[in-house]
Chain A
Amino acid sequence: ELKVEQNPLFLSMQEGKNYTIYCNYSTTSDRLYWYRQDPGKSLESLFVLLSNGAVKQEGRLMASLDTKARLSTLHITAAVHDLSATYFCAVDVNTDKLIFGTGTRLQVFP
């Protein structure tokens, strides 16, 4: 059974600081997705990572995938308040199912 674990589960960080969210998964997969969810809202797709070594960047967020280590990271550079949200990673299983991590709730304060 595939397990997807994120850490930390909760992250409170100061504006301007850098931090990394980790996503570990328990079975072989080379397809990983990152989503953002604002409170009371739906999920928004951030990144799609489709191969070992894939790196994608959008603004202050950068995601990477290491399929050998079964690890993806979401790096936040110089955090701003607008990044406050819950971030989910999800792993593709057999090309027809997505298994989600428990999410990382990020709060950025002044």
Chain B
Amino acid sequence: NAGVTQTPKFQVLKTGQSMTLQCAQDMNHEYMSWYRQDPGMGLRLIHYSVGAGITDQGEVPNGYNVSRSTTEDFPLRLLSAAPSQTSVYFCASSYSILPGGTQYFGPGTRLLVL
């Protein structure tokens, strides 16, 4: 049981490049979400999904796309990277839609955009 996995662990991009951050969970969780963590700003919700085929925007969705074709996977796509997207990105999942569902976080992806 691997829990929530994220790849890559580190990535350096040039401004304007695109890339996909991968997130997968093997716990059959319906709810998955993406956060970014910047120094002094806590975690901010980018996008979330309450089940396969259903996604919605969080607090800071601009510049990011998501899709949820399977229960297990929830990739985050950066369309055209900008230095402001330099951050640590965390994927999380929980068994059901909140309330009460403990979220399990992945190890994070550190992204640097030059």
Chain A residues engaging chain B, CB cutoff 8 angstroms:
4, 9, 31, 33, 41-45, 48, 50, 88, 90, 92, 95-103
Interface size for chain B: under 10, 10 to 19, 20 to 34, or 35 or more residues? Answer: 20 to 34
Q: List 10 A-B contacts (CB under 8 A).
A: A31-B98, A31-B100, A33-B102, A45-B103, A95-B97, A95-B99, A97-B48, A98-B45, A100-B43, A102-B42
> Across the two chains, which residue of chain A brings its CB closest to B56?
A96
A-B contact count (CB 8 A): 59
Does B75 sit at the interface, judged by CB under 8 A? Answer: no
Does B90 sit at the interface, judged by CB under 8 A? Answer: yes
- Choose from A43, A97, A99 the contact partner of B105 (Cβ within 8 Å): A43
Q: Contact between B102 and A88 (Cβ–Cβ < 8 Å)? A: no
